[in-house]
Structure 1
Amino acid sequence: MSLPSTPSFRLDGKRALVTGGTRGIGLGAAVALAEAGAHVTVAARTAADVETVVNQMADAGMAAEGVALDITDVSAVRAFIAEAEPFQVLVNSAGGARHSSFADITEVDYQAVMALNLSATLFVSQAVVGRLIQAGLPGSIIHVSSQMGHVGGPNRAVYAASKFAVEGLSKAMAIELGANNIRVNTICPTFIETELTAKNLSDPAFRQWVLSKIKLGRLGRVEDIMGPVVFLASDAAQLVTGASLLVDGGWTAE
């Protein structure tokens, strides 16, 4: 009898692109992928932030470069990816939220959230996938979704709508791209302590409501997302596609 060998979690020799990679979950994903051996390109809107993160990663011995890119500018995204070597790992982490009651949703807020959370995710993925297919390379596309892509929440109609859409997009992509050995999955965090969530979580009543829903009794940390990103990017997840990896402390278990 021969024993099976565990597939590698290493990413040596792979190129990875992380959008929104200068802070929060995106920064955690960039560092995790680089620590696993990938050459990481950090993309974000602000050039100074990109430079700071890339320099810090380089100082820590990680292979990283950066690009200042507005990912809602489809033409700019296509031009950048067309000129770059193919990315075998893509983490769509850039995202945003504009919370309000359903009655107070404005067209401006709706369009802004959908443009960043859904449209940019779709068109960045389309450009990356096109290069992979052209080169005949396998790939792993990871969309940072949310537990709110599986359940609703008060004052989150637009945000939830955008993340439910990302979940559907991911499954449809997985069906189409499986023949090209390109896997597509989502990571669905609960409330992670980041700059994006800091304002809401500073409200004691809201914070207590959140904690009451998380069965493990604590808020998420960026570090909680890093392992799942490496797993989905690696050969350890070779048969995982069209899946949603819920990192929600049990929020959606009931």
Structure 2
Amino acid sequence: MHGHSNTPRDPLFDIHDKVYLIAGACGGLATPLIDEISARGAKMAFYDINEIGLTELQSKFPDALIFAGSIDCEASITACIVKVIEKFGVLDGMINAAGVLPICDSLSIDYGLFKTCLDVNLNGAFLLSRCVARSMQERGGRIIHIASVSSNVANIDYAAYASSKAALSQLVRVLAREWATKNILVNAIGPALTETKLTREYLSDQHFRQNAIDAIPMQRLGLPSDLFGPIIMLMSKAGAFITGQTIYVDGGRTTV
């Protein structure tokens, strides 16, 4: 285990031996997050459409379960959860880090791409939530989605992405209310533009990069590690009375 300012076994933030499903496990936000969750002693299952990426994760985390499937296929998600419970006996939580980010002006964006964005970022999030919640009826659990500051701010050329993420934040609120009495807590994290594999192509354009930095009051882009604290809080005892929220981790971006 690597060191932390609050130790991995701090009872308030302890996730040791808890079982979490990570969807979109091969993505840019998930990869460093998985390292953090592993360092804290949790058990993990990985769900992604990227079979090569899953094989790499399996070699790094031999005790984890891997399952290849699409985020918008309910049968596949359900089959994955069955495997998780067969292997670990329980599912304590799910983190959905799957997402697509098309940046294109609204007059020219391909409608198929627009629909794909909604299928992954919204419809997939709904199906994941529902399948996971069905397995949490008896003992509760935690569901955490990665939303975006685009849930809240209107960036030019983000029509598909911003619509999907705004809808995701509202979905989180509704599901939280529906499932509160079952102690199934549903929340989202809203990062500012973060340096990951997903955003690398756009951020290599220095004009785009500088504009993104200028829009953030703290004058830097987000890092995946910025999200660790809020996510661990929502996964652990520290988040026991938090549900229906999108927590913005954005260097002040949503204040602009």
1:1-254 mapped onto 2 (5 Å cutoff)? 8-58=12-62, 63-85=63-85, 86-133=90-137, 136-254=138-256
For the 8 Å contact 1:28–1:225, the answer to whether it is kept is no
Deviations for 1:98-124, whole angstroms, at most 9, x for unmatched residues? 221111133201111011001111001
For the 8 Å contact 1:89–1:233, the answer to whether it is kept is yes
Shift, 1:83, TM fit? 4.0
- Partner Cα separation in structure 2 for residue 253 and residue 57 of structure 1: 39
> Identity of paired residues, percent?
28
- Partner Cα separation in structure 2 for residue 88 and residue 160 of structure 1: 29
SS at 2:248 equivalent: strand
Shift, 1:30, TM fit? 2.1
SS at 1:228 equivalent: helix
SS at 1:219 equivalent: coil
- Stretch moving more, 224-233 or 22-31: 22-31
- Partner Cα separation in structure 2 for residue 143 and residue 23 of structure 1: 14
Structure 2 residues without counterparts, runs of 5 or longer: 1-9
- Stretch moving more, 188-197 or 45-54: 45-54
Shift, 1:49, TM fit? 1.0
For the 8 Å contact 1:32–1:227, the answer to whether it is kept is no
- Partner Cα separation in structure 2 for residue 82 and residue 69 of structure 1: 14
SS at 2:61 equivalent: helix
Shift, 1:52, TM fit? 1.0
- Partner Cα separation in structure 2 for residue 21 and residue 14 of structure 1: 17
For the 8 Å contact 1:18–1:29, the answer to whether it is kept is no
Change (3 A) 1:163 1:128: same
For this pair of structures, how many residues does the alignment match? Answer: 243
- Partner Cα separation in structure 2 for residue 30 and residue 65 of structure 1: 13
Shift, 1:158, TM fit? 0.7
For the 8 Å contact 2:188–2:245, the answer to whether it is kept is yes
- Partner Cα separation in structure 2 for residue 13 and residue 76 of structure 1: 25
1:80 aligned partner, one-letter code: C
RMSD: 1.5
- Stretch moving more, 207-216 or 46-55: 46-55
For the 8 Å contact 2:27–2:98, the answer to whether it is kept is no
For the 8 Å contact 1:21–1:27, the answer to whether it is kept is yes
- Partner Cα separation in structure 1 for residue 221 and residue 12 of structure 2: 30
Shift, 1:7, TM fit? 5.2
Shift, 1:225, TM fit? 1.4
Report the TM-score when normalising by structure 2: 0.90
- Stretch moving more, 80-89 or 231-240: 80-89
For the 8 Å contact 1:100–1:155, the answer to whether it is kept is yes
Shift, 1:149, TM fit? 0.7
Deviations for 1:131-154, whole angstroms, at most 9, x for unmatched residues? 110xx1121100100000111101
Report the TM-score when normalising by structure 1: 0.91
Deviations for 1:40-69, whole angstroms, at most 9, x for unmatched residues? 1111112221121232235xxxx5232222
